[in-house]
Each structure stands twice: as C-alpha cells, then as structure tokens.
Amino acid sequence: MRTRQILCPTDFSETASHALSYAIEMANLYQVNIRLVHVMSKPYGEHNYGIIVESPEELETQLEAYSEEKLTELVAQIEPALDDVLSVTPVIRSGDIFANILEDSVENEVGMIVIASHGHTGLSHMLNPNVAEALANKAKCPVLVVK
C-alpha cells in the first residue's frame, strides 16, 4: 500500500464525496497518489436523463462532457487538500461499473480502493447491485467501504 496509489470511484453523489475525504486522508498518510474514477454506465433510455438529443451517440457525448466537467471540479477541490508532492489522476470509463473498477484496480496495481456504499436494504438492495460489496469480495487489494 505504501508505494501504490488509491483508487476512489465516484458517481458525484454526497456519499461518494464523503468517501473521497477518506481517500484524501489515506493518500496524505501513506504519501500515495489518487486515481479518481467515474464509470459512465450505459443509459437505459434517453428519456431518463431529461436531455434532448438527436441520437444515442449524442447522449453519450453529452454524458462524457458532463463527467469531464464534474471530474475537473473535483480535482480542483482535491489538489489543495493533498500534500504538494501528491497528485490526482481523473479517469472516465464506460460500461459495467463493477467490472470497470475492478479492471482499473488490476491494470494500475492500486494499493487500496476507497468506495462509498449507498446503504441499500431490503428490496432496494436486491434490485440495485451493490458494487462496494462485490469489490470487497473480489478485489485483490484492500477495500475501504465508507457509509
């Protein structure tokens, strides 16, 4: 862990922001960089986003532009909180959230994943895949799940 970066997935939610504060604290403690990863999942339908588009490709382009803008804002907030020698690498991936986070952690040999848990219970837990739980079970590195 002391020589590898921390991977912190984000969906730009308040819970993800809370997990990010833990990632920043851990990065400063261990003197490692942060990989800030956002995975754009495939939209179920254009109508769900309230975005007027001509084609699915245009929707994908707009979602990617939105994601880049949000990541840029987050990086600007994170950098002052990190020690001077540390950096943040923003990454946008597309597809299955769990598979992309797991793949990124292996490809980049991360030392730890810090991820938010949205705390779904009951029927909501059954209908919404719990990415944090799956990562804790499958990742080859330590996973810190933050509520």
Confidence of residue 60 (pLDDT cuts 50, 70, 90): confident
Phi, psi for 39 (deg, rounded to 5): -105, 120
All domains of the chain, ordered by start, with CATH? 6-146 (3.40.50.620)
63 or 55: which leads in pLDDT: 63
pTM for the model: 0.84
The whole-number average pLDDT for the span 54-78 is 89
The whole-number average pLDDT for the span 111-118 is 92
What pLDDT shows up at residue 125?
39
What pLDDT shows up at residue 126?
41
Least confident of 5-9, 46-50, 142-146: 46-50
What pLDDT shows up at residue 62?
85
What pLDDT shows up at residue 21?
97
Least confident of 48-52, 73-77, 143-147: 48-52
User: H-type helices in 6-130, by residue range?
Assistant: 14-30, 56-78, 97-107, 122-127
